Chain A
Amino acid sequence: MSTFIAYQTIVRREVNRFMRIWLQTLLPPVITQTLYFVIFGKFIGSQLGQIGGISYMSFIVPGLVMMAVINSSYSNVVSSFFSSKFQRNVEEILVSPTPSWVIMAGYVTGGVVRGVIVGALVFSVSVFFTHPHIFNIFLIGIFILFTATVFSLGGLANGILARNFDDVSIVPTFVLTPLTYLGGVFYSIMSLPVFWQKVSLFNPILYMVNGFRYGFYGVSDVSVIASVFILISFTAILALMNFYLLKNGIGLKN
């Protein structure tokens, strides 16, 4: 059988799904991030000084784009996979010869596509408020793609293991949101006391946000090489974990 056709089928279905309900999937993050630009960037930011030589509004643009990418890619995969499991139409794939890695790749690609589209939309809105500088477009691309991949993989693992709708909302509410807000989206960790600077270094989202910001302005609170290493490591670990779950039917087959 052609695994590429199976992969294409999953991606097409996933993209069609979120495009069909774009009012729920694409528009809300754009509105939310616009409010952040207005409130934090315009109203509050105008009273703040520069951070690392850049205006506060420009400083928060990469973080807010990344925040939208993280939430969109994660929620796309977790909600799509869990609702397939809940409605039992995931069985359509499970009874087919589609290999586990293709199922994983298909769902993750769907999440990455949504994450990148939402990221592009939020970035487009930011242009109305500031003129972000682009330092290294290659790094911007690497960070946005890998971050969307990591969180799509995380969403897939959550979707596979979730047993009810509570399990689907626990991770975004209690893990992702705090880590994102504390991941240097709105501030530089250099402004924190030394102890909290050290604690912040355990937050993987800090590396993603800073690596992405480096692509725009060439400044970062952490090493960009460490950020790339962390991204690749998380991608590899989560990919292996998902492959193991799907291959062994954990959370799917009794």
Chain B
Amino acid sequence: MHALSVQHLSKIYVNGTQALKDVSFAIEAGDFCALLGANGAGKTTLIGIVTDLLKKTSGEVKVFDHNIDFKFSKAKQLIGVVPQEFNFNIFEKVQDILVTQAGYFGIDHRKARMDSEVILKRLGLWSKKDSASRTLSGGMKRRLMIARALIHHPKLLILDEPTAGVDVELRHGMWDYLKELNQQGMTILLTTHYLEEVEQLCRNVAILKNGELVTYDRVYHLMQRLEKEIYLVTVDRIQDVGSIQKFGPMIKEENTFEVELSKSDVHDFILKVTEIGMTITDFRSQGHRLEKLYLKILKT
């Protein structure tokens, strides 16, 4: 079953901007899918349509087979959304925000208080349950947004840049939690600008460019499309590079050069460098592989 199915989805804003152009893709139930694209590519518009914050111009959207044109209420019951910007009442207390949200989903007050305790404890916010949300740190606010999206136990969790501006430690903590939710069977759709996040978490990736879907594939398959990778090689001293000239080394700084190699060339390259009497002191991949592929896809 598809957790989310989008067919020929288009959106034209009243000012004439076409944010989505005939976008079609489907996410399997239980998947962890990334939605990538530059700013303005249409990611937030797509999420807005799926969550009923925006009206589509044309096309069809189904959430677990519930067409949003006819059964939006049932579809919404299955969706939890974490928007890009903080949108809770800044004067409300942390636990009250969750209990109120649960109420909108028809969950009674007592059950909502019990469920919110479990979620707040899991996300490390229990000690702040009686604090006004405006007093929380940025990271806590992000976690509160996730907690609020989970209070009605959705089957599809949509996160719009949930780790933006979050420190590394907290980001890794969030990753662990999202992995845990996915392992429990929750389908997750994630938009992010951190490609490392996609590589770490997601099985599939959809890439939007100017409102069009340009790629929808497994992350693994995309990685295989990378033929070559750029490495930074540091040696004890740079000597005559004639025999490694065919690899096209470019000297970047003293004793360090950059070279682009396919996986099969790596062994050969190291042998040649050693043969000419240089000792490799450092050998590392430069930059993020998926990031390079992503940029390549966007440029084409």
Q: Do A and B come from one complex?
A: yes
**B264 an interface residue at 8 Å Cβ cutoff?**
no
Cα distance A5–B101 in the bound complex, in angstroms: 11
- Scan residues 52-91 of chain A and give those whose CB is less than 8 A from a CB of chain B: 84, 87-89, 91
B76/A96 in contact, CB under 8 A = yes
State which of A12, A87, A96 has its C-beta within 8 Å of the C-beta of B89: A87
- Scan residues 40-97 of chain B and give those whose CB is less than 8 A from a CB of chain A: 48, 51-55, 72-74, 76-77, 79, 81, 83, 85, 87-90
| Residue of chain A at shortest CB distance from B73 | A97
B101/A91 in contact, CB under 8 A = no
Cα distance A91–B84 in the bound complex, in angstroms: 12
Cα distance A9–B73 in the bound complex, in angstroms: 17
A96/B108 in contact, CB under 8 A = no
**A121 an interface residue at 8 Å Cβ cutoff?**
no
What is the number of contacts between chain A and chain B, taking CB atoms within 8 Å? Answer: 78
Cα distance A254–B16 in the bound complex, in angstroms: 12
State which of A13, A87, A96 has its C-beta within 8 Å of the C-beta of B105: A96
Cα distance A148–B44 in the bound complex, in angstroms: 39
Given known pairs A2-B108, A97-B74, the reply for A249 and B103 (CB within 8 Å) is no
**A194 an interface residue at 8 Å Cβ cutoff?**
no
B88/A89 in contact, CB under 8 A = yes
- A3-B106, A97-B72 known; 14 new pairs, CB 8 Å cut-off, are A9-B100, A10-B104, A12-B103, A87-B89, A88-B83, A88-B87, A89-B88, A91-B83, A94-B52, A95-B53, A96-B152, A98-B104, A253-B53, A253-B55
**B230 an interface residue at 8 Å Cβ cutoff?**
no
Please list 22 pairs of residues, one from A and one from B, whose beta carbons are closer than 8 Å in the complex, sorted by A's number. A5-B106, A5-B107, A5-B108, A6-B104, A9-B100, A10-B103, A87-B90, A89-B89, A91-B87, A92-B87, A92-B101, A94-B53, A95-B51, A95-B52, A95-B79, A95-B81, A96-B104, A97-B74, A97-B76, A97-B104, A253-B53, A254-B14
Interface size counted on chain B using CB atoms at 8 A: 32
Interface 0/1 of B115-127, CB less than 8 Å to A: 0000000000000
Cα distance A93–B103 in the bound complex, in angstroms: 10
Cα distance A94–B51 in the bound complex, in angstroms: 8
B53/A91 in contact, CB under 8 A = yes
Cα distance A10–B85 in the bound complex, in angstroms: 23
| Residue of chain A at shortest CB distance from B133 | A89
Cα distance A254–B53 in the bound complex, in angstroms: 8
CB distance from B9 to the nearest CB of A (A): 15
Cα distance A87–B90 in the bound complex, in angstroms: 8
B109: A residues at CB distance < 8 A: 5
List of 7 A-B pairs having minimum Cβ-Cβ separation, nearest first? A9-B103, A1-B106, A96-B104, A2-B106, A88-B87, A97-B73, A97-B76
**A99 an interface residue at 8 Å Cβ cutoff?**
yes
